[in-house]
């Protein structure tokens, strides 16, 4: 099959007088996937798109980037680990693909951050706000804490890290806090990883009272 393809390419080259193996004639699989996400990001940026639809498009980009690192970057790292340094048809090694991908991802994330801040302001104009826990009034903080302690805190389990407990496995798509624990009567602190229990009917955004203001669950846990 490979020989047949090579022979076909050779015949085409002879007929056209062009080098069909030239890297500049081909697009990279990983980079074109990121370029697609830039187009999705444009939908979140487009003021003609309804506001909540723009929020959804921004969330789609975030989810796509998570998948990109789990599958695409993960696959390229496996190639590096296996000692594979062959170039793709577009002329890039696995390492070069990773580096070029990171450049594009940083560009996407920079734009996404700016769009997120803009969307937050526009949501506030419609009385929908994402607030920091520290910005809440004392009674609002108390209400949020009561909800957290009664509904979410029982699901939280710190995993200690010490010579007897190595660094715990960090699962995909999880949010985690690194905290310091102290045992009564002992001066030496212990580091622990706390997984934010999102999913399974646990909301990441906690409503403040009956308003349309919300705080992030990890922000509540950190305070």
| 152-189 pLDDT, tens digit each | 999 998 888 877 777 888 888 899 999 888 877 777 88
Across the chain, what does the average pLDDT equal? 89
CATH of the domain at 206: 3.30.1840.10
| Domain match, 47 and 103 both | yes
Of 78, 102, 126, which one is at a domain's C-terminal end? 126
143 and 62 inside one domain = no
- Of the candidates 102, 97, 66, 103, which has an alpha carbon nearest to the alpha carbon of residue 80? 97
Cα separation, 111 vs 50, in Å, equals 19
- 33/194 Cα distance (integer angstroms): 33
User: Residue 18 has which token pair?
Assistant: 């062009």
- pLDDT the model gives residue 7: 64
Domain CATH code at residue 96: 1.20.58.310
Same domain for 157 and 122: no
* pTM over cut 0.85: no
- My answer on whether 159 and 110 are in the same domain is no
Same domain, 141 and 120: no
Same domain, 193 and 107: no
Q: Which residue has the higher pLDDT, 7 or 104?
A: 104
pLDDT at 163: 76
Q: Which of 110, 126, 142 is the last residue of a domain?
A: 126
200 and 136, same domain (yes or no) = yes
Of the three residues 75, 92, 126, the one that is the final residue of a domain is 126
Instruction: Quote the domain boundaries for residue 207.
Output: 130-222
Q: Which pLDDT tens digit goes with each residue over 47-57? A: 999 999 999 99
CA 60 – CA 64 distance, rounded (Å): 6
Lowest-pLDDT choice from 85-94, 172-181, 186-195 = 186-195
Q: What is the mean pLDDT of residues 132-144?
A: 95
Number of folded domains that form the chain: 2
**Same domain, residue pair 40 and 53:** yes
């Amino acid at each position: 099959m490979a020989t047949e393809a090579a022979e076909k390419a050779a015949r085409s080259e002879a007929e056209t007088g062009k080098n069909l193996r030239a890297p500049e004639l081909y697009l990279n699989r990983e980079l074109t996937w990121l370029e697609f996400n830039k187009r999705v990001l444009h939908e979140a940026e487009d003021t003609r798109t309804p506001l909540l639809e723009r929020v959804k498009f921004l969330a789609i980009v975030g989810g796509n980037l998570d998948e990109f690192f789990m599958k695409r970057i993960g696959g390229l790292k496996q190639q590096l680990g296996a000692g594979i340094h062959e170039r793709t048809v577009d002329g890039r090694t696995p390492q070069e693909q990773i580096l070029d991908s990171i450049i594009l991802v940083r560009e996407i994330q920079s734009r996404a951050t700016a769009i997120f801040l803009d969307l937050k302001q526009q949501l506030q104009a419609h009385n929908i706000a994402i607030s920091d826990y520290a910005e809440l009034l004392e009674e609002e903080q108390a209400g949020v804490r009561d909800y957290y302690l009664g509904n979410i805190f029982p699901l939280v389990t710190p995993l200690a890290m010490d010579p007897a407990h190595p660094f715990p496995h960090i699962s995909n798509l999880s949010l985690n806090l690194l905290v310091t624990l102290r045992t009564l009567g002992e001066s030496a602190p212990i580091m622990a990883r706390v997984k934010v229990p999102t999913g399974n009917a646990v909301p990441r955004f906690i409503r403040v009272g009956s308003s349309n203001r919300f705080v992030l669950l990890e922000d509540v846990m950190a305070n």
